[in-house]
Amino acid sequence: MAEHQLSKTFPVKPKLKPKPRTQKQTPESKYWSSFKSQQIPNLISSITSLTFSNTPSRPFAATHSASLTIFSSQTFSTTTTITSFSDVVTSASFRCDGLLIAASDLSGLVQVFDIKGRTPLRKLRSHSRPVRFVQYPFADKLHLVSGGDDALVKYWDVAGETPISEMRGHKDYVRCGDCSPVNSEMFVTGSYDHTVKLWDVRVADSKSAISINHGYPVEDVIFLPSGGLVATAGGNSVKIWDIIGGGKMLCSMESHNKTVTSLCVGKMGKDSGEESQQYRIMSVGLDGYMKVFDYAKMKVTHSMRFPAPLMSVAFSPDSSTRVIGTSNGIIYAGKRKTKEEAEEKKDLGGFMGFGTVEEPEVRALKSSYVRYFHRGQGEKPAEGDYLVMRPKKVKLGKHDKLLKKFRHKEALVSVLGGKHPGNVVAVMEELVSRKKLLKCVMNLDTDELGSLLMFLHKYSTVPSYSALLMGLTKKVLELRVEDIKASVTLKGHIRNLKRSVEEEIRIQHSLLEIQGIISPLLRLAGRR
């Protein structure tokens, strides 16, 4: 009679499988890793700030030492270098049309430059101490906001070179600020007095509309694209606040090990899908890490390590370029190839005045060609295609073939002679489900029983296998006690097994003693 064959056969695997320590790379991690880093070295000293222009060419400016350098976001080459400063440059900001750029320095001076020229068009003098940030308000070409170590925030009339209003309220150095993306008359500032204040230039008494306590000296503050949320950085934490709700904290991220120095907002540059309209917060710190934070899901989605402390970060409005400034004068600029650039490379029409370059004509395939019979095998599926996958051939081991033929004892003996404990446990679990494991143990001869006891001695105390093997060990001792007493070899295996179990019990007692010592200390420290 023909042997009965199962319609589908699967190789046995252990049910309890330890999880891998390294997680698989997510689609979002692949996206952020697609920015290929390129170094822009030799910028003398720490990169104090980075900022992009909103013009279609997307140049970016970097402040370092007593210089302001503007780079092309396409080639990362220097286009303009401005050195009309008497002290270290701390901050820079492009005007909304990209024609002018404002910069501040430690001398307390704010200067406005033409992008193409190197001589200052305006010099704004009013701060008595170093100016730490300067910014053009959203869609405003006539005013500037600045703040400095004199704890003052000033709103400037650029044409008249005079401050229109002076905001007092901070009690320590004002280190950062940002203007609202929906209202050019509102902005926030952060100070070393641990507070973030929201200002409205229309308020007559120059008092802050909202004051938020971050809990640490504030290193950076930014508006999120909606205009109703603010992100602050200070200490090793990044916090998000709802200013429409009166300054309520929504979440706190503490994934950095050292001080967070800079923040920016980046838009996911997917061409289509839900992710094309999602924004992320990027933070950098003195620990050398850049973190990407999804504030909709309240979790860190990507992390990247750099070989130096990071001081500044910026992301282009078109989601194609990311730049990170370090403390040793190196900019790590990363560019992602966009869909438009890929199409431009394919389109060679009009190159050097020779007209459109036509693609070479493809010869029709005939049945006499070998390629005719291999056509279509290299084609990639288009979006929306239904894929019919060819079932993979199942490779069965020797024990799987024996289990398929219901030769249970031989299957157990075959894996006991191998080097993979996972296969042994998998076969035992399969025999338990078939209610044949104890019967196989009863039918083992002396040598085979010795192999089983040797396996139990090695792996019965392993945490991932102990739940099954400890119970099996008890059953083996009960069922085969007479055979064990009659054999010197089996007695030796039992002694080894006893020693390993006693050693495991001793380790567990030691761990419990350590836990008893540490638990009161943790309670006293307030960590539980």
286 domain residue, yes or no: yes
Give the bridge partners for 58, in sequence order: none
| Domain with 155 in it | 27-337
One domain for residues 103 and 191:
yes
Residue 487 lies in a domain: yes
Cα(231)–Cα(202) distance, integer angstroms: 24
pLDDT for 95 equals 92
Final residue belonging to a domain, choices 291, 320, 337: 337
Angle in degrees, 0-180, between the axes of helices 446-459 and 488-525, rounded to the nearest 10: 10
Looking at the structure, do residues 323 and 465 belong to the same domain, yes or no? no
Give the containing element (helix H, strand E) for 415: helix 408-416
Distance CA 263, CA 502 (A): 55
| The pLDDT of residue 353 | 47
Same domain, 403 and 324: no
**Is residue 344 domain-resident?**
no
Whether 429 and 522 share a structural domain: yes
Q: Which two tokens stand for residue 84?
A: 């009309």
456 and 307 in a common domain: no
Are 419 and 305 found together in one domain?
no
- Asked whether residue 13 is assigned to any structural domain, the reply reads no
- Tell me the C-alpha distance between 147 and 165, whole Å: 12
The DSSP annotation for 239-300 comes to: EEEETTTTSEEEEEE---SS-EEEEEEEE---SSSGGGG-EEEEEEETTSEEEEEETTTTEE
Report whether 322 contacts 333 (CB < 8 A): yes
CATH at residue 102: 2.130.10.10
Count structural domains, the chain.
2
In a domain, 486, yes or no: yes
d(CA 65, CA 105): 10
Is 237 in the same domain as 144? yes
**Residue 278 backbone phi and psi in degrees, to 5:** -105, 145
- Domain final position from 317, 337, 357: 337
The reply to whether 306 and 405 lie within a common domain is: no
| CATH number of the domain encompassing residue 472 | 1.25.40
Same domain, 311 and 409: no
270 in a structural domain: yes
Question: Of 337, 358, 387, which residue is a domain's last?
Answer: 337
Same domain, 81 and 191: yes
* Nearest residue to 490 (alpha-carbon basis) of 443, 455, 447, 458: 447
pLDDT in tens, the chain (528 residues): 444 444 456 677 776 555 555 556 778 888 888 888 888 888 878 999 999 998 888 899 999 989 999 999 888 899 999 988 999 999 999 999 889 999 999 999 999 999 887 788 999 998 999 999 999 998 888 999 999 999 999 999 999 999 998 988 899 999 999 999 988 889 999 999 999 999 988 877 778 889 999 999 999 999 999 888 999 999 999 999 999 888 899 989 888 999 999 999 988 865 444 455 688 999 999 999 999 999 888 888 889 999 899 999 999 988 889 999 999 989 999 888 655 555 555 554 444 444 444 555 666 777 777 877 877 777 788 878 888 887 777 788 888 888 889 999 999 989 888 888 888 898 899 899 989 899 998 988 988 888 899 998 888 888 888 888 888 988 988 888 888 888 888 889 889 888 988 998 999 999 999 988 888 888 777 644
**pLDDT for 362:** 62
Is 411 a member of any domain? Answer: yes
DSSP-assigned states of every residue in 26-95: PHHHHHHHTSEEEEE---SS-EEEEEE-SSTT--EEEEETTEEEEE-TTT--EEEEE---SS-EEEEEE-
Three-state helix/strand/coil letters over 150-212: CCEEEEEECCCCEEEEEEECCCCCEEEEEECCCCCCEEEEEECCCEEEEEECCCCCCCCCEEE
Q: Is residue 496 part of a domain?
A: yes
Residues 62, 185, single domain; the answer is: yes
Strand partners, 459: none
Helix (H) / strand (E) element for 436: namely none
Looking at the structure, do residues 89 and 198 belong to the same domain, yes or no? yes
